Amino acid sequence: MIVQALPGNWLDTGDNAWQLTAATFVGIMSIPGLALLYGGAVKKKWAVNSAFMVFYAFSAVLIVWVLWAYNMSFGKPWFQVPGGLGAFIGHPDPTTSAYNMEKEAIIPSAAAAMPALGYGQATMVYFQFVFAAITPIILAGAILGRMSFKAWVIFVPLWTTFIYSVGAYSLWGGGWLGSLGVVDYSGGYVIHLASAFSGFTAAAVIGPRLPRDRESFHPNSLLITLAGAGLLWLGWSGFNGGDPFTANADAGVGVLNTHTATAAALLTWVVCDVLAYGRPSILGAVNGMITGLVAITPAAGYVNGTGAIILGVCAALLPWMTWNWLGKTALFRKVDDVLGVIHTHGVAALVGGIGTGILADPSMIEWYGTNKDAFSVQGWWYGNFHQVVLQIYGAAFIIVFNVIGTFILLKLIGLFVSLRFDDETLLIGDDAVHGEEAYAIYSDGQKIPVMGD
C-alpha cells in the first residue's frame, strides 16, 4: 500500500528497499546467471566468449541507459504514431543530473491513475535498467559461437537505443500500445518476444557455426549450466515480483505465480522428453524451466493460481513441439539458433502474452489511488474477447519491428566490421578471440609440460 507522503518527505523506505532488492535479483539473472548458463551450455572452446558477451552487454547497456535510453523508454514523448494513436518513443535525455536522481519516481503510463511511487527516480532507473540489460543478453543465446566480438560491441548499444526503447516505450512508457490496452506485466513482449525474434533474425544474417560445431556442440559443464539456471529461476522473483512497483500484495502474487508456472512447465517438458525419447534430459528440464518463466512474465500479476498452472503446461507443450517438430524443417535447420531462443523465449512469450488475454482475472490486480479500471485486466475467460485481439496486435508489432529493425541494424554494422569471426578463429575459439581458455588443465591447444621441464 502506498501512503501519500507529505511534501518533502515522500520516501517510503519499504518500497524503496524492495525495488532495489528486486532489481538486484534481476541483475543476478544476467551476471552471473546467464553468464554461467551460457558458459556451461556451449562447447568448451566458446565458454569464455559466451560468458564475456554477457558481462559486456550488461555494462554497455547501463552506460547507454543513464545517458539517453531510459528516457527514450520512459521519458517525454518524442515521435508520434500516425493517426493520433500516441507516441512510440521518448526523448533521449540523460538521467545523470542531481535533479533526476533525487526526484520522486513516477510511471508515465499510469501517472493519471496513481500517485508518485514513494522512492527516488534513481531507484526506478536502476530497476528498469536490469530489464533492458537482460534483453540483448537473451538475444545472444541465438548467436553464440560465431558472432564477431567487435560487432557485438557495436550492436548492443545501438540495439538498446533503436530497438529495445521503442518496445519499452510503446507498452510501458505511456506509448501507443499501452494506450490501446495491450498489457505486458513484466516483459513477455518487451523483453522475451523482442529478444527471440531479434536473435533469430541475427542468427540468419550472421550465418551458422562451422558444420563440425553444429554437428557436435556438447555442453562443457552441465553442472555450471544448472547453477546458472538456478540463479535465473530464483532471480525471477525480482523480475515479476518487482513490477507492481511497490511491496504490495500483488508482488506476492507475481512471485508465487512465477514459481508455480515454472514448476508446471519444467515437469511438463520432462514428461514430453520421457514419452518421446524414453528418458529425462537435464537440458530439457532447463528449457522447460525457461519456457515457464517466460510465459508467466506477461501474466504474473493478472492471472490466478489456476491460470498460472495452465500457462506453465501450455508454455512447455507448444515450445517442445516447435523445437522437436518444426525444428527439423528446412527453415529451422538453415537458421542456426544455438540455444533455441525462438522456441524457449519466442513461442513461450506468445503463449504467455495471448494467454494473458484469455486468462486475466480482473479481481487479481492490486490497484492504487482511485482508478481501479486503469489497472484491472479482464480476459476472454471472464467475458472480454477483445483483450485477446489486443494481445495479438501487440505481439505482431513487436515481432515485425524487431525483425526489420534488427536486420537493418546488422546490415549497417556489417558495412564497417565483419559480423562473424573468420574460419580460423571459429575453429580455435576462446584462445584466438581472448587469449584465454575456460579450463587450464588439458584444454584445447595447451602444451602439457614434459617431466623434468
Query: What confidence tens digit (pLDDT) does each residue in 162-212 have?
Result: 999 999 999 999 899 998 999 999 999 999 999 999 999 999 999 999 999
Task: Taking each helix axis as running N to C, give the angle between helix 305-324 and helix 348-359, from 0 to 180 degrees, rounded to the nearest 10.
Answer: 150
16: in domain: no
Q: C-alpha distances in angstroms, 116 versus 16, 228, 254, 374?
A: 12, 36, 21, 15
414: in domain: yes
State residue 78's pLDDT score.
87
442: in domain: no
pLDDT band at residue 382 using 50, 70 and 90 as cut-offs:
very high
pLDDT tens for each residue of 200-259: 999 999 999 999 999 888 899 999 999 999 999 999 999 999 988 888 888 999 999 999
The mean pLDDT of the chain is 89
State residue 277's pLDDT score.
95
Please tell me the distance from the alpha carbon of residue 403 to that of residue 84, in angstroms, as a whole number: 25
Please give the residue that has the higher pLDDT: either 111 or 321: 321
Residue 106 has pLDDT above 80, yes or no: no
Domain count, the chain: 1
pLDDT tens for each residue of 51-78: 999 999 999 999 999 999 999 999 888 8
Lowest mean pLDDT among 10-14, 319-323, 391-395: 10-14
The strand pairing partners of 120, in sequence order, are: 104
pLDDT tens for each residue of 387-428: 999 999 999 999 999 999 999 999 999 999 999 999 999 999
Domain that holds residue 126: 30-87+119-434
pTM for the structure as a whole: 0.92
State residue 369's pLDDT score.
45
- For residue 427, give the amino acid letter: L
Residue 3 has pLDDT above 80, yes or no: no
Residue 85 · residue 180 · CB < 8 Å: yes
Residue 112 has pLDDT above 70, yes or no: no
What is the domain-level CATH number for residue 215? 1.10.3430.10
Residue 136 has pLDDT above 70, yes or no: yes
State residue 151's pLDDT score.
98
Element (H, E) at 87: strand 86-90
State residue 1's pLDDT score.
33
25: in domain: no
Q: How many helices (H) and strands (E) does the chain have?
A: 21, 2
**Longest CA pairwise span in the chain (Å):** 81
pLDDT tens for each residue of 271-314: 999 999 999 999 999 999 999 999 999 999 999 999 999 999 99
17: in domain: no
pLDDT band at residue 44 using 50, 70 and 90 as cut-offs:
very high
**Nearest CA to 45 among 216, 287, 194, 284?**
216
pLDDT tens for each residue of 323-367: 999 878 888 889 999 999 999 999 999 999 999 999 999 988 755
12: in domain: no
Average pLDDT over residues 23-48: 96
State residue 396's pLDDT score.
98
24: in domain: no
pLDDT band at residue 6 using 50, 70 and 90 as cut-offs:
very low
Residue 453 has pLDDT above 80, yes or no: no
Residue 195 · residue 341 · CB < 8 Å: yes
pLDDT band at residue 87 using 50, 70 and 90 as cut-offs:
confident
Residue 2 has pLDDT above 70, yes or no: no
- The full DSSP string for 211-278 is HHHHH----S-HHHHHHHHHHHHHHHHHHHHSTTSSSSHHHHHHHHHHHHHHHHHHHHHHHHHHHHHS
State residue 249's pLDDT score.
86
167: in domain: yes
Q: Rounded to 5 degrees, what are φ and ψ at 104?
A: -75, 140
pLDDT band at residue 448 using 50, 70 and 90 as cut-offs:
very low
Residue 143 has pLDDT above 80, yes or no: yes
